[in-house]
Structure formats: structure tokens, C-alpha cells
Structure 1
Amino acid sequence: MKFKISPFIKSAALVIMLSGSYSCRNMYDVEPKNQVDAKNMFQNIYDADAAVVGIYGKLLGLAKQYEVLNELRADLMEVTPNAGAELQQINTHNVLDGNSYADPKPFYAVILSCNDVMKNLKIMYDTNKLTANDYNQRWSDVAALRSWLYFQLGLHFGEVPYVTEALTNANDVKDQSKYPRLTLDALVKTLIAFLEALPYKLPYPAANSMVTQIDGYPSKLFFVNKKCLLGDLYLWNNEYRKAATVYKEVLETSTPNGPGDSYNYFNTYTLNSGTDNDAVTTSAWQGFLSRSMQDREFQTEWIWSMVFDKSFAPENPFVDLFANSGGSYLVKPSQTAIDNWNAQIQNDGTPFDLRGPNNTYKIINGQPVIVKFLYNYLNTTTGLPVNALEKNGRWFLYRTPTLHLRYAEAANRDGQTKIAWALVNAGIKGAYDNTAEPDATKRRITNLPEPYMFDARKLDAPTIRGKYHRNLGIRARVGTTNLNVALQTDMTGMEDKLIDEGALELAYEGNRWQDLMRIAMRRNDPAFLADKVYNKLLKDGNPAAAAVRSRLMNKANWFLPFK
């Protein structure tokens, strides 16, 4: 990925260096000082911008590993007969030495690049080559991305070295007296403290030089959202009020179109809020996956999304992973995932969930194919490649429904189960419309302190238009029936349904392993995770199902060996 506007051309060498030149042969052989002489490259704001974009270019190389670790280890994805031994090992939680998907080194290659850039940005600031604002924004961005990478490592490897220095001797990372391995719980607490102290926690402002067009795509969607990440860490750490607070701040933040557009992330779930934002048809929901990244609807639906394009490296890995025409067709939707969608009921009584068939997956040549990531490669009607040699695509990392579901999970655990029920079903106005209350000004409003204040009132006398008066829930947006009203007072039952809804809405977006492990750890109930993986394998006829369940009943076996 490279800038295509003239001020950045002179920094192309740095972009190339950061996006592809570091070796992944060994996590200990990365020597940033030997790549490009930093004193000649970090000279001005354009060099700083190129360095940050280069980090994200390097991040693209992790997409396939990220997808496999977060989805195949869980219950919604299954291997095909084309899968080799490495994917089969991941699927059955029996990973052998040398499995490339279970290798932490590629993550550390990006982390060490982050450390190097953060060091040089600080030097630029100290020598007056960057203003305080420019430094704080870029340094905080790279720091947050590094924190996201560490969180991923913790989720999959359990205990990892936490290295924050730009290494002059990369072998030092082997020294556990300098870089002790942090457990996942300790790592989460460390990352929370670090992110809380960031000097800048918002997205890049519209006037920032980082907000531009990169290879024809809006760069404002490429960067990790710091508050979403912080909320996820709070949620993992069982700090529910803090999680709900930062999630709601993002919900009520203007989308990348800017405040002049009067469009916030919660608008995704409002009636008549945009061309496709009522998404109660198969084609409308599919539009969130395929439409132009320049569109308001795309920028409201997706908080973090990156691109693969035929014009730059790396090549889109999802074609090879998912496609049965033009790719190797290595993984597919599990029968569990398909059954989840088939079990839903539409408002007209039809058993169907439009988020599943012909949206998240399609039957192509008689085979179930995960197509969520392939809509910029396939013909949406035939399911065949438009051009097998042009493997354009998107990497979907964080979506507004992810934000809603995580907020609902935090609210539910903080005693606000009714709010969670409302947001997942048909919105605030229906759940809080107390028809026994004669004073209409007291209806359709939660009357709770933040972060649980929702005003869905719509009155003409007096005139009141609450911020959430057109709020539409996750299930109502796709026309599925409400969950049982009894769940409004059932915290554990509601939590189960939130995780189930995540399977329907967010399948294959990299959330599933984290979701299952978070709930199982919170409840100290390894069977919550083990049973879901077992049922997947059992339904797909895998003879290792029982052995895998037994293995996963020991929490230590949730983590990959760190080599």
C-alpha cells in the first residue's frame, strides 16, 4: 500500500521498508537499525505519515493468520477436504511444532516495527520536526495498534513477552529478566493502563494529513479505534461500567463523514436513516459488504476496515482461503453456523435469517462458501470471479454491530439487562414504552445516569425528539423476531443470547474465539467453550470431537504453544 499524492512519494522507501522487508524467519532476528537509516528518513510530517501507513501495510500480512486463529479454533468455521495438516491441527486444537498458523513471529515483526516508529516519532518531536498535536496523534495510533497486536497474542498464546523498546540488540527479547512473559490477565491490565494514558484517543481529525486517499481508498477507515479497543479490554477485565462508557462514547461519535453529516454510529440502527441502513432485505445487508468505501452507509457500518487491491502487495489471502473458484477452498461455514441461521424466525413466521445464506455464505457449485470477504472478487449473482486475476477485497475488523453487542454485554453485566435486550431486539422505544404511564413524557426513556441514558421519546405536544426516537435493534434491522421478553430480567440467559447473536451477525469477522473464551473465563466454565467446539466437530463428522472436548475442558489447552 502506498500514497499516491505527491508529497508522500519521497517517502516510498520507508513505506516499502515497513510494509514488507522485515524477516519473519525468527522473532529474534529483527534488526530495525539495519533496514533504513532513520535519521535520513524521519525528517518531516510526510515521513511520519509514511511510517504510520507502512505499519498498517505490514499489518495486512497478518490477515490470514488472524482469520484462522480467531474463527477456525471456534465453532463457526470448519475445514474442507482441501485443508492441509496445519489447518486440521488448528481445527482440532492439536497443534504440532512448526505450524505456521500458530507462529507468533509475524505478530512480533509488526510489533517491533511499531516500537521503532514510536521511537523515531519521539525523536522527531524532541527535535521540533513534529508539533505536539501531530506527534500525539501518530504516536498514539501506532501505540494503540501495538496494544491490539499484543491483545491478539495474549488471546492465542496465553503468556507472551511484552516488549516496548526499539531493540538495538534483538536477542535481548530472549532475556526474561528484561522481558518477562505476561499472562493474559496481566497483559490486559497492562494494556488498559497504557491505553488510558495515551495522549490522544480519538480518530484522526478530518483536517489531518493522515486523512486522505490511499490508492483510491479513504484512509480514515484503516486505523484502529482506540476507544473500541479500550472498551474490549475493560470488558475482558470485567470492568463493565467503564466498558459501557467508552462504547457509548463511540456510539455517539460522528462517523468518518464528519459532524456536518449529522451521522453517528448509533444511526446504523435507526429507521429511515439512510439508503440501505434499514437493511431488511438480503441485497441491502449484502451492500454493507460490497458497496464503495466512500459511501456514507459503508462508513457508518464499518469502524475499522482495510483493503486488498490488485495494485499492491500483499495479495488478498481470503480468496485462497475461502473461494472454490480461483482459490483453494480450505475452510467453509460449519454446520453449526448454518443451523444457527436456519433456526431464526422472520416476523412473518418464516424460518430464515438473511444474514446467513446468500450473504455470509453461498452455495456455489454445490459447496457452502464463506463469501463475506469475497464480494469485491465474486459476481454477487453467479458466485464466480469477475476476474480471477484481480483479487480485490476487504479485511473487516470492527463493525457497528460489534460495538452494539459489546455495549449490550457490558450493560447486561452491569445490571442493565433490559437495555441489552432492547438494543438486540427492536430498540429502546418498544422496550421502554410503558403504556400504563399516563404521562407520555415519562415513556420511552430509561431515566438512568450515563452510560445508560437513552431517550426514545417522540412527542408533538410538547415537542420532544429524543436522540434514540428512531432506534432500531439488531434483530429488527434484519426482520427476525424478538427474543423472549423474560430475558429482560435474566442476566445469564441474556448473555447467552448476546453470544448467539454475535454468531449470526458477526460470523468470520474475527470475534468468535475471543467471545467464547471471554464468557467461559468470566463464568469459570470451560464447558461453555468446549461444548461449542465439540458440537461443531460432531456435526461435521470429525472423529476427534470427544477428544477435543476433553482437551478444552482444561483452560491451559486453550492457548497455543509459544515458540
Structure 2
Amino acid sequence: MKKINVKINIALSMALGLCLVACDDFLDLEPISQETTEVGYDNAGQIEAALVGAYESFQSSDYYAWDKILFQDVRSDNHYAGGDNPEIFQLDWLTVTPTNSRLLTNWSNIYNAIAKANVVLERAPLVEDPQLTEERREQILGEAYFLRAYHYYTLVTTWGQVPLVTEFVKSTDPDVIRPEKSTEDEVYDQILSDLTMAISMLPDTYGSDASVNKARATAGAANALAAKAALQRPTPDYQAALDYILAVESSSANYTLIDYADLFDGAHYNNAESILEVQYIGAPEATWGPQMHLPPSISGDTWRKFTTPSHNLIDAYAAEGDVIRRDATVLFESVNWVDEYWGNAVGSSIPFAYKWKHADGWASTDRLHLLRLGDVVLLKAEALTGLNRLGDAATEVNRIRSRVNLPNLTVADQASQASMRQAILDERRLELAQEGQRWDDLVRFDQVVSVMNNLVEIDLRTGQPVEYNMDESKIFVPIPQEELDRNPNLTPNE
């Protein structure tokens, strides 16, 4: 087993002493500055501030601010790259190279977030301060276990085999900071081990304030993520996933489905369906992501936008008669630029990604759901299908369909495990488009190769279809070249 408790590279390990606490008041706490893991974090306020730094990665990381949609929706059949960035075109066309700078940025940011969680896990048990109750110490540890698991889930679904780093490392010894990759199963085992600890330590709620309960990790969030991990791993564990989901449903947090449009209108934050969401509250606690894809009438600018919804996605909404989710997800508008898929002439009407609806001059408060019940309900249907409980699975899918005024699944949909799985995959696409889920879903359902190779998208400049040339070697993105150069023990992805 190649599980090594080290940091990824010298540059990051030397920088972390400063960056661990250079963070925002994500949870309305005041972070400290210029502490180190050797002499800092020895009282209640400091360990709370270290935890703030761990949460802050959801705001500061490019991956969670926007690149999650690029890696999941643009790389799949949901969206085109749009814009004019060659590195994003690589994601769209499935030609990603190890030197693509987005790889290193996201790899480094996510491992940085893991290092922050590791510091909390190491230091919280050592704090001797009467202001830190044992109940709160346990909660802090549970939150840190959850955060580390969430970031490893991001890593393993994006890169596959990755190094496991479960301690914060202060050494710069090359023999210490050159970890090998762990297998996917080893990474998932670590994720589920961390989540088991989190579930045992975290409350269902922290009280009656939704702005706290939806901002912090809870037992419900840990169970929801564990269900995703149990299904996403190379050999799914359907019964374990179902058990985790039943725990979410029985939570005293009382998660419930709400009106679909309310999820994305910017006026119903921390709602009953939300399990965990990033708490953007305005500058400086804001997100620049929506500015990148909203149309000129909303963004206030005139440059070509990114993450353009695909013909294939729009056709999927039309085929199902799904007006409610389409209108919550996509907005058409005429533009003063040429779009190679929607209109090879200025003035064409093209669709825009619309689940985030307020640009606010690069300081949007629109929030990304990290976990929500609609996703979990469809995961439950998936687990039930894996257990050959097809009627029960259909009941769960129909819960999702009924709230957007669509009819129940047909008898043919429920005829076999294969037909039921296809119905669930199709439903997840319509429900979760532009939420950073599609690529993982295609991989989990073993359809990513066939879907991408059968995708017909015509480039209007040439009249020819795009050739994606998808094969299994492209399921995961390459290890960043800079990491391969620094660490001779890392091997490239195929």
C-alpha cells in the first residue's frame, strides 16, 4: 500500500505555514495570521481559526469557484468551452495535456486544502484550553475529517490514483516529500474511513440557524458524501450507499425537496434541500464564477462567455418536455459574437449557463450546492437499482420528476436493471446540469466512452462533427507535468 503521510512538494510545504491561516471569515470567525504548526494552534480561538482556513478553500480554490463545471460539464456532453481559452478547449475536446496550467492550479489548491484539514486533525487533540469544550473539540475533528474526505473525493474522481497525505509535513527532506500514488480503492477507503469518523463526531445541526447548519459539515453532509463515495468507487457498494442515504433521510435536520426554481434564484439560500453550500455573502466573500458565463444583459459586459450549453443538452430537455429545469438552467440571448456551434454569424441567439444568475461585477453571492437532497434522492434510486429493487427505485425518481411536473417513469423504464439505470442517468443529467456532476455520472454508469464517441456536435465553421476520440485513458486528467518533474516517484496517468 502506497499510503504516505507527506506533503506533495517542497514549494507547497514551505508555503503552508503562512497560508494555513491567511483566510476569510467563512464562518464568521476571525482567523489569525503568522502562526506555525510548531507554536500555534494551542488555544480555542486559534484552532477555530485553523478550521476556518480549512473551510475557506471552498471559496479560494479555482476548482470549487468555477473549474468544477469545466472538468465535469464542459468535458462531457453538457457544455462547450465557449470563450477563447485554449486550455479550456482542451477540456472540451478531450485533448488535455500534462502542461495545462489548470491541472497544477487545482491539484495544488486541493492538496493545500487537505493540508489545512490535516493541521486541524493534528493540533485539535493537543489544545489545552478550558474555552474548548470536549463537545466542541469533537465537532472540530469531525468537520476536519469531512473536509479532508471531500477534497480527496475531488482528487480521486478527477485524477484516479493520487498520493494519500494524512499528516501535515514540516520536513523538506526529498525522501519525505516524494510520495507515490495510492490505488483508487485505497483512496476511497481513506475517504470512507474519514467519513465514518465524521459521522460519529458531527451533529445533525448546530442549532436553529440555517446559515450555520448549511455552512458547516454535519452528520447529514458526511452521510451524503459517503453515499456518493460508496457508489463512485470502482466496485460500488449499493447496500452501504443505501444505509448512508437512509441516515440522511432520518436526520433531525429534516432535509426536504423544495421548488426547483427556488434552488437557483439567489433568494433562497440555506434552504431545506441544501445539505452544504458555499457561503458567498458579497465582497470580499464573493465568487467571480458567474461573471464567466452569464449573458451581457446580466453580466454588463460584451465579451464572449464560457460554459455554453450544448445542443445535446438542450435537445435532452426538449425530448423530455422538461421546461422547468431547462428554464432554471439555460437562458437564450442574441450576442454580438460568432458561436461555432449555435450561430456562425453575429447576432445569433445562443444559450447561456444560467444556474448562477447574478454576476454583480465579479462579486456574486450566488452559491454552489456542494451537497443537496435532489442529488441524494437519485443516488438512492441508483443504490436500490443495484439491489434489484426496481419499483422502489422508480418511486424515488418519480419524486424528482413530479416536482417539475413530469409524468412517472414508464413500465419500460422499470423493466430491467439496465433500463432503470439509463432512466436514472438521464434524470440526473436534467436535474444536475451545470452543478459539476455529469462526467462522474458517465464514468460511474460506465458510459463515458460510448456517450462521448457517439456525440454529434457540428462545428459550423467547417460543417464537420467534432471528433472526441474518447477512450478509457481519458477518463482521468493527466498528473500535472510540474508535479511529475518535482517528484520522480509519481508516474503519469496513461
> Which range, TM-score by smaller chain?
0.7 to 0.9
1:397 aligns with 2:370: yes
1:479 aligns with 2:482: no
Compute the displacement of 1:423 (Å): 1.4
Identical residues among aligned pairs (%): 22
Alignment map for 1:81-96 (pairs within 5 Å): 82-96=83-97
The equivalent residue for 1:252 is: 250
1:509 aligns with 2:435: yes
The equivalent residue for 2:57 is: 58
Query: Which residue identity lines up with residue 336 of structure 1 in the other structure?
Result: N
The equivalent residue for 2:278 is: 306
Q: 1:388 to 1:180 in 2, by over 3 A?
A: closer
Normalising by structure 2, report the TM-score: 0.79
Q: 1:189 to 1:504 in 2, by over 3 A?
A: same
Compute the displacement of 1:58 (Å): 2.3
Alignment map for 1:322-471 (pairs within 5 Å): 322-324=294-296, 325-326=299-300, 329-345=305-321, 352-356=322-326, 358-365=327-334, 366-374=349-357, 376-377=358-359, 387-388=360-361, 390-425=363-398
The equivalent residue for 1:286 is: 261
The equivalent residue for 2:290 is: 318
Q: Distance in 2 between matches of 1:61 and 1:33?
A: 15
Query: Which residue identity lines up with residue 106 of structure 1 in the other structure?
Result: N
The structure with more radius of gyration: 1
Q: Distance in 2 between matches of 1:315 and 1:142?
A: 23
Q: 1:333 to 1:173 in 2, by over 3 A?
A: farther
Compute the displacement of 1:88 (Å): 0.2
The equivalent residue for 2:211 is: 218
The equivalent residue for 1:141 is: 143
Q: 1:529 to 1:32 in 2, by over 3 A?
A: same
Q: Distance in 2 between matches of 1:516 and 1:233?
A: 15
Measured against aligned partners, the alpha-carbon deviations of 1:326-373 in whole angstroms (never above 9, x if no partner) come to 46511211111111100114xxxxxx43100x3111112333111101
1:117 aligns with 2:120: yes
Q: Distance in 1 between matches of 2:354 and 2:18?
A: 42
Measured against aligned partners, the alpha-carbon deviations of 1:89-130 in whole angstroms (never above 9, x if no partner) come to 0111211243232221111111112112222212216x7663
Q: 1:389 to 1:508 in 2, by over 3 A?
A: closer
Q: Distance in 1 between matches of 2:283 and 2:101?
A: 26
The equivalent residue for 1:462 is: none
Compute the displacement of 1:186 (Å): 2.5
Query: 1:485 is paired with a residue of what secondary structure?
Result: coil
Q: Distance in 1 between matches of 2:204 and 2:250?
A: 17
* CA RMSD after TM alignment: 3.0
Gapped regions of structure 2 (runs ≥ 5):
1-7, 20-33, 335-348, 481-494
The equivalent residue for 2:231 is: 235
Compute the displacement of 1:288 (Å): 1.9
The 8 Å contact of residues 202 and 227 in structure 1, kept in 2 or not, is answered as: no
Query: 2:457 is paired with a residue of what secondary structure?
Result: helix
The equivalent residue for 1:159 is: 161
Query: 1:78 is paired with a residue of what secondary structure?
Result: strand
Query: Which residue identity lines up with residue 184 of structure 2 in the other structure?
Result: L
Q: Distance in 2 between matches of 1:180 and 1:249?
A: 35
Query: Which residue identity lines up with residue 507 of structure 1 in the other structure?
Result: A
The equivalent residue for 1:191 is: 191
Compute the displacement of 1:26 (Å): 4.9
The 8 Å contact of residues 137 and 204 in structure 1, kept in 2 or not, is answered as: no
Compute the displacement of 1:539 (Å): 4.8
Q: Distance in 2 between matches of 1:286 and 1:293?
A: 10
Query: Which residue identity lines up with residue 158 of structure 2 in the other structure?
Result: H
The 8 Å contact of residues 218 and 293 in structure 1, kept in 2 or not, is answered as: no
Compute the displacement of 1:48 (Å): 2.8
Q: Distance in 1 between matches of 2:175 and 2:418?
A: 42
Q: 1:172 to 1:24 in 2, by over 3 A?
A: closer
1:108 aligns with 2:106: no
Query: 1:206 is paired with a residue of what secondary structure?
Result: coil
Query: Which residue identity lines up with residue 230 of structure 2 in the other structure?
Result: Y
Query: Which residue identity lines up with residue 290 of structure 1 in the other structure?
Result: D
Measured against aligned partners, the alpha-carbon deviations of 1:259-284 in whole angstroms (never above 9, x if no partner) come to xxxxx22x42xxxxxxxx4x3xxxxx
Q: Distance in 2 between matches of 1:556 and 1:529?
A: 11
1:32 aligns with 2:28: no
Select 1:70's aligned residue among 72, 75, 78: 72
Q: Distance in 2 between matches of 1:474 and 1:192?
A: 27
Q: 1:173 to 1:302 in 2, by over 3 A?
A: farther
Measured against aligned partners, the alpha-carbon deviations of 1:408-445 in whole angstroms (never above 9, x if no partner) come to 100110111111111112xxxxxxxxxxxxxxxxxxxx
Measured against aligned partners, the alpha-carbon deviations of 1:22-46 in whole angstroms (never above 9, x if no partner) come to x999545434279424576534433
Gapped regions of structure 1 (runs ≥ 5):
1-22, 256-263, 269-276, 280-284, 346-351, 378-386, 426-472, 521-527
